[in-house]
Structure 1
């Protein structure tokens, strides 16, 4: 169903177009209907449109508006909508097929009811009947784009470019070709053919333009000189031509059987010199791309467009030869000498210099995909390029006008040394002293650690030891100013990163030191506004990560509780320190206080694309906490408002709307001529369509519905479709857009990252998704054939048992009356095993609170799935009119009761555990008692945190226990 805002915009657009086409009388007739739809009053709109149709039964506008009104009405059935659409198509001998405005409404309605293919067929039929109707063709093209039908869009745009005079259709055709072939991970088999068509289009266009310009210049006495009109008219035009050339080079590099893939006819472009143009048939696509970027036309457009300039550098490195590299190095060096401080300029000067040195040292004329011609062979002093780059950076870092403030020059020297180290070139400056110099000069910059981290990872043992000696002295310094505090924080981050193996006691000592320095530095921010971050925040973040590490070394939960107390205190003084809040969320989930974690998450105000990148923070294995007080019939109160179910629904709804909006963004970019943005928006839509997090949210929301008992019979068919899609989608087709860099990692190198240490078990991936979706498919469609999969390592022990239970349960559901008892016993063993697992985990002090909850939740989920599977199996038996239906019905009810008893026993154990959890506040306070040595962390504050955590844990356990009791009561 379309959103209210979308419907309003659509109706307003339709009415505005009708004003230019309808008579005043006809316009007045549809005005009240449009007003009712704008006011979201579909009932009144239907009443008015029916009155109009009594007078004019074949009015295309009225029929289209009726279809729209039905599509937004909650009471209308899909079949009614489709019936009105068919009527509109056939009315007046198919007059609607020639009306672009009416078709716009009808196709929108068809898409909104899930008939996107029918919408495209309708437009194709309309264009076929009215090939000269430009508005119809335009609407058809935009609908192909919106539906992501790239082949249809390319064919339509190509026909339009030939049939209509508007110049924009030519660029639509070129851009449609780019979209059709851009996915190199899954190359279009027709890619070379489509690119050759685009080449011919471009050559024809510019050959014609060149001829016109030459004739004009000859008539004006200019001889054979180029004139201004022969070049590219806009940066977008240059961009699209460049993209076609780049795709040619990429397809050529990927085609092992035909590495050059030369054009079959000369490629005529304003950016290719005549000598190149006339010999294009023997030039490779890679060399053509480099020649294009080396032209005066490229200089003109790159000078005013940074994006094009950066693209030129990347293409030259990837596809250029040694001669092209030398020219680009000289150009970039000149830019740096003139004051360019862009890190990209420095980085590509380094990469090109390294490429030259590498090609010379290996006695290779070129390391690029293209061949090197004699005219572009490297000069004899190519090995000196690395030394020249080093000399340039050293001069700029020490004597340049920006040497004191610009860190890029010195970082360039460090990067050069790292490249030399990576290539095994021992005759260049060592890396260690340069890193030390960088830290000494720019240690007061907040980004210092992030700058040098890649180099710390490859630092040798001797260099690391020498650097640690320097850093220890810096780390012991006073923190009386913000720059001094920043330098000390950076030193501690580097020392921690370079530290070797440690112990839980060592990590606790480090955490205590970080906490001490945190409170020591807190006065620096006493006068800052509440919206500003505290200079001492990173000390708290370091302490929290050290405490997490101590927990993993000892499995002593009090370390996690210390981290919670510290994070809660720090966030009161720096509420926008999102990195610290993320750490708090992860740790709170580990200790089972999910409602508190959720409250922190909601302060982020996640919007738009953040649902795709950040929702995993609370939705990963969110079914564990799907039942909260108030949802399963337990006590009401504040906790009822803190359930993760609402966040799952909001995120699931965003994916539906976000995918639609992404398609609209591509359409708008075409419509408004923002051609450079089209491919970016298309890539965004592709990532969103293939989002792994989107698929995980779909499954997690379904798991929650099952556990909460909210999977209505009307929703089962949709669930079957969703699960079937998840099972059939290969792991490689997903795009993992989840952001795990928002929480910086300050743990020692070589070990697990802070994300890995604070996630609920092993990270969910595409194999986890497919395994759990397969388990659900067995209950949603018991008689179907589901191929078993090897349980991936990303499953927890309980989840692995659930997948095995699904196989056994399906076998029992479809078993014959004779075989059923044995198979039912094999399936019911799952519940007994989960009860034993819970008892064992409860006695193990290393078990985390969330793990205990998950064991019971998965057992409950298995029971809920069994009930679902029984209902689905009974429906299957009824539909086939099985002769033993009554006996199977009795058997399956007994099967359900057989599974209920061990689950009820497990519920008793959980309830008893929940009562003990409610009394653990004093234990929490005692476990973190040593934090009271810091005045700000007095016992009252610690007690408040302890109370909140224990209550959150207790309420989650109590709600789950009550939900199980209610479900198994009969």
Structure 2
């Protein structure tokens, strides 16, 4: 049972058929189908059990299984309403009413919503028992709100919410949202239909705004500093009214913001609360700035949060004219001086606590990053890394400081230090999906896998563990939720499982791992065939982007790009289009290098395949999809990656006919497979695929003459010349480590792609039998060009590595923060220690890539 459960199989069906009177076997059969997501079979088993044992629980199992089957992406549209009506009929016909408990009631209401029977659902909710359930169950009340919104009863819901806020003291933020939506409904409902709101609608809206203002003002006065809901709702109300031109007093938003700051300015969340509402201009901005200047108090521990919030808000509203190198330098120094002055407030705190002044040092570091963007000088990144490393000695658990440092170290070309900080954040479980992009985005650039250093490869594997355990764990949770009739949890579990199974970050890491593996291992048939099959599965997935970018602290002015955008390598993160392009590149490369075709793969592949996608594109033949070039996908690439895409397509198009000619016929491969099964029953077909190279039992694929040998397209050798020019341009320009290594590692990748594409033609016997001597001779010019360019890059990297950790480099690093060094521990000796650590990490990185280039050329000569 345990083995089959792990494989997603069930052995209970036949057992239950043989013993239909066993309720235990029936339950096990139902749960086994639940674990593998076979909702049709689960519904049939539950129906059979209800008929046999007359337990209403099984009727709800059957109804909910029908609903889940209806909501599966692969369920035909015409079948969906039939399944939903079946589920509803099962519930209505049961002897026990759905009002027995909240979860059964949830199933009933959910089916009515899916069938768009809103009046029936609201009528059921309006019963005395239904109202009691809504009062005690947040998930049912959320479902009720959704139905109200779908029915368009927004104003009625607003009246109800106002009563709950005033009469019952309800501070659920959803109630405040309901009042806000109702206040503007007369205007927003017409704007959605592209019609201009009438004067009557505007007048009615102003009246509703005034009523909402009275409700929120009453709440604010009653709660005082105990609750932020009322003041936040007032800010939101005034902002919406201003945007729609319905505000009677243009200064009201500022006055409310000042009032909010005066009351809640000592809370660390104040900046995040006010940020959406304080985008003032002109005179209002001047008054707001004057007010904040008066709040910059740092004399006591209780005043510190207020002073920090004032600095953040002042920085947020800086104008373009106010962001100059001179002013930013002064601000960075001011922020750091305030940080050093505030450190004594946290001296008594244990090491596990955060320093109350941490945000001040992050403000200083982000000011230095802005200086780097303005001037292009690495000195400002040196200063930022120094002060952040110092801050970590005082606040070891600060993940915000580590994230900021991680981004800076990537820019400086110290990926080993960046990875160390990522690991010290102690990322666990599902956080690996949401946060691993911090360290593993475009990880191929930072990897030294070609030298045998598999640190980044291992990190990809470690971060992928959550996906391996997800399916089994979540399936067990779903089975338990059915057993305990927690139906409202099941939908969340299924959604969670789907988002993890089809995570964009999961497959971005997979592509990075493939790129690193190609540099690390010999291009054998095992590597090519296994990766081909897995990448084809990924290509058919519909992906969810679960990555968390909001966790990256951002205290930059609104007139500037965010800190995330400023420090993001190449200004754009890999996303859906980037993944699609690299899948196309590597599927095509492995497809041509492999002996597998569709018929052979279907017969040799053992195990489960992913569920087929119902996307329209999935029905298009694979080769046609691989050849499709979409501009929105190309737009996500850097210019260097776009050049690699063109290069890989040219190589595949040129060599395609020769691969097709040399590939052994499927019948010969299948015959060899059967032969190996007889010799080694139960053993994998190792050594069969990918090494036959057109010679298998003396057979070749075709009797006709081989394709005429054509010279390589000029664009293939031109690619390496282009990379040389790009590399020289970076050296004479910014010299930013990520830009330089991006060009170098992509050139290395292009050479590895060529090697994978030509591995079939390495054996002399293949060349002789298939009469392809002229083709193989043409490879020499490409290899010579690639070797020449990579050797030149390697020699230059050797020089850069030598300069990275010299005494002069360390002195330059120390001098970058000389103006802010103090006697509190952040002095020359401390900064020198950071300089040595950073210099050694950069040298190791440059040395590693330099050695990798040489090793790749040697291994694939």
Is the pair's TM-score, using the shorter chain for normalization, greater than 0.5? Answer: yes
* CA–CA distance in structure 2, aligned partners of residues 362 and 824 of structure 1: 54
Structure 1 distance, partners of 2:59, 2:249, is: 53
C-alpha distance after superposition, 1:665-715 (max 9, x if no partner): 222322343322111100101111221001101111111111223665423
1:166 and 2:79 aligned: no
Q: How does 1:521-670 map to 2 (within 5 A)?
A: 521-627=342-448, 632=451, 643-670=455-482
From 254, 264, 269, the equivalent of 1:432 is: 254
Corresponding position of 1:92 = none
Give the TM-score normalised by structure 2: 0.82
Q: CA deviation at 1:806?
A: 0.7
Alignment match, 2:309: 490
1:247 CA drift (Å): 2.1
Matched position secondary structure for 1:822? coil
1:952 to 825, 841, 856: 841
- After alignment, is 179-188 or 739-748 more displaced? 179-188
Asked if 2 retains the 8 angstrom alpha-carbon contact of 1:512 and 1:543, the reply is: yes
Q: Which of 258, 265, 268 is the equivalent residue of 1:446?
A: 268
Alignment of 1:384-463 (within 5 A): 384-398=207-221, 400=222, 402-427=223-248, 430-457=252-279, 459=280, 461-463=282-284
State how far apart, in whole Å, the 2-side matches of 1:142 and 1:363 are: 47
Distance 1:874 1:146, change over 3 A: farther
Which stretch of structure 1 is more off in the superposition, 126-135 or 692-701?
Answer: 126-135
Matches of 1:741 and 1:829, distance apart in 2: 41
Q: Distance in 1 between matches of 2:15 and 2:182?
A: 54
- Which residue among 88, 92, 112 is the counterpart of 1:245? 112
Contact 2:159 2:179 (8 Å CA) reproduced: no
Query: What is residue 287 of structure 2 aligned with on the other side?
Result: 466
Give the aligned partner of residue 96 of structure 1.
none
* Contact 2:577-2:634 within 8 A present in 1 as well: yes
Q: Please tell me whether residue 854 in structure 1 is matched to residue 721 in structure 2.
A: no
Give the CA deviation at 1:592. 0.7
Unaligned stretches of 5+ residues in structure 1? 1-103, 210-229, 250-284, 368-377, 634-639
C-alpha distance in structure 2 between counterparts of 1:431 and 1:877, whole Å: 81
Conserved 8 A contact 1:329-1:353 = no
Matched, 1:706 2:530: no
Rounded to whole Å, the distance in 2 between the matches of 1:326 and 1:231 is 28
Matched, 1:739 2:548: yes
- Residue aligned with 1:782, SS: helix
Corresponding residue of 1:299: 131
Aligned equivalent of 2:121, options 289, 292, 304: 289
Q: Please give the residue correspondences for 1:208-357 in structure 2 after superposition, counting only pairs within 5 Å.
A: 208-209=95-96, 232-249=99-116, 285-321=117-153, 324-325=156-157, 327-333=159-165, 336-355=166-185
Show the counterpart of 1:225: none
Which digits, 9 at most, give the CA deviation of each residue in 1:640-682, with x for residues without a partner?
A: 69x3222112123332222332333222322343322111100
* 8 A Cα contact 1:322 1:356, kept in partner: no
1:813 and 2:655 aligned? yes
User: Is residue 502–residue 543 contact of structure 2 (8 Å, CA) maintained in 1?
Assistant: yes
Equivalence for 2:696: none
Alpha-carbon contact 2:186-2:204 (below 8 Å) kept:
no
Contact 2:158–2:179 (8 Å) recurs in 1: no
- Residue in 2 aligned with 1:822? 711
What whole-Å deviation, never above 9, does each CA across 1:475-529 have from its counterpart, x for those lacking one? Answer: 3x3x122231111111111111111112233222221111111112111111111
1:818 and 1:714 map into 2 onto residues whose CA distance is: 28
The residue number in structure 2 matching 1:760 is 569
Equivalent residue for 1:797, pick from 612, 619, 639: 639
Secondary structure at the aligned position of 1:823 is classed as coil
2:793 pairs with one of 870, 890, 906? 906
Larger Rg: 1
Q: CA deviation at 1:735?
A: 0.6
Q: Which residue of 2 aligns with 1:938?
A: 827
RMSD: 3.4
Give 1:864's aligned residue. Answer: 752
Q: Could you give the per-residue CA deviations for residues 274-311 of structure 1, whole angstroms, max 9, x where no partner exists?
A: xxxxxxxxxxx222233333321122113333443444
Residue pair 2:161, 2:175 contacting (<8 A) in 1 also: no
Q: Does 1:481 align with 2:319?
A: no
Query: After superposition, where does 1:2-21 map in structure 2 within 5 Å?
Result: none
CA contact 1:180–1:188 (8 Å) conserved in 2 = no
CA offsets, 1:35-92, max 9 Å, x none? xxxxxxxxxxxxxxxxxxxxxxxxxxxxxxxxxxxxxxxxxxxxxxxxxxxxxxxxxx
The superposition leaves residues 408-432 of structure 1 with CA deviations (integer Å, 9 ceiling, x where unpaired) of 2222221221232233323478322
- CA gap 1:653/1:529 in 2 versus in 1, 3 angstroms: closer
Q: 1:694 aligns with which of 502, 506, 509?
A: 506
Number of residue pairs aligned between Structure 1 and Structure 2: 768
When structure 1 is superposed on structure 2, of 888-897 and 915-924 the one drifting more is 888-897
**Distance in 2 between the 1:745 and 1:150 partners?**
45
* Cα distance change of structure 1 residues 362 and 507 upon mapping to structure 2, 3 Å threshold: closer
Q: Is the 8 A contact 1:332 1:349 kept in 2?
A: no
Distance in 2, matches of 1:830 and 1:326, equals 63
Contact 2:404–2:553, Cα closer than 8 Å, also in 1: no
Distance 1:778 1:316, change over 3 A: closer
CA change 1:357–1:883 in 2 (3 A) is closer
Q: Does the 8 Å CA contact 2:801/2:846 hold for their aligned counterparts?
A: yes
Secondary structure (helix, strand or coil) at the match of 1:781 reads helix
8 Å CA contact 1:504, 1:553 repeated in 2: yes
Tell whether the 8 Å contact from 1:831 to 1:859 is kept in structure 2 after alignment: yes
Match of 1:373 in 2: none
- Matching of residue 673 in structure 1 with residue 482 in structure 2: no
Where does residue 587 of structure 2 map in the other structure? 777
Cα displacement (A) at 1:928: 3.0
Q: Which residue of 1 aligns with 2:332?
A: 511
Q: Is the 8 A contact 1:805 1:827 kept in 2?
A: yes
Are the equivalent residues in 2 in contact too, given 1:856–1:910 (CA < 8 A)?
no
Tell me, yes or no, if the aligned pair for 2:33 and 2:42 is still in contact at 8 Å: yes
Equivalent pair of 1:551/1:560 in contact (CA under 8 Å): yes
Find the residue that maps to 1:469 and give its secondary structure.
helix
CA distance in 2, matches of 1:908, 1:363: 64
Judged with a 3 Å threshold, the aligned counterparts in structure 2 of structure 1 residues 185 and 436 are, in CA distance, closer, same or farther, namely farther
What is the CA–CA distance in structure 2 between the aligned matches of 1:593 and 1:105, rounded to whole Å? 46
Contact 2:84 2:111 in 1 (8 A): yes
The answer to whether the Cα contact below 8 Å between 1:178 and 1:244 also exists between their aligned partners in 2 is yes
**Could you say if the C-alpha distance between residues 357 and 625 of structure 1 is closer, same or farther in structure 2, counting changes exceeding 3 Å?**
closer
Deviations 1:734-789 (A, max 9, x none): 11000111123211225322111112221101101111121112321227943142
Check whether the contact 1:293–1:312 (CA below 8 A) recurs between aligned residues.
yes
Superimposed CA distance per residue, residues 120-145 of structure 1 (whole angstroms, 9 cap, x where no aligned partner): 7x766777777766555544433433
Q: Aligned partners of 2:471 and 2:852: how far apart in 1?
A: 35
Per-residue deviation, 1:179: 2.3
The alpha-carbon distance between structure 1 residues 395 and 462, as it changes in their structure 2 partners (threshold 3 A), is: same
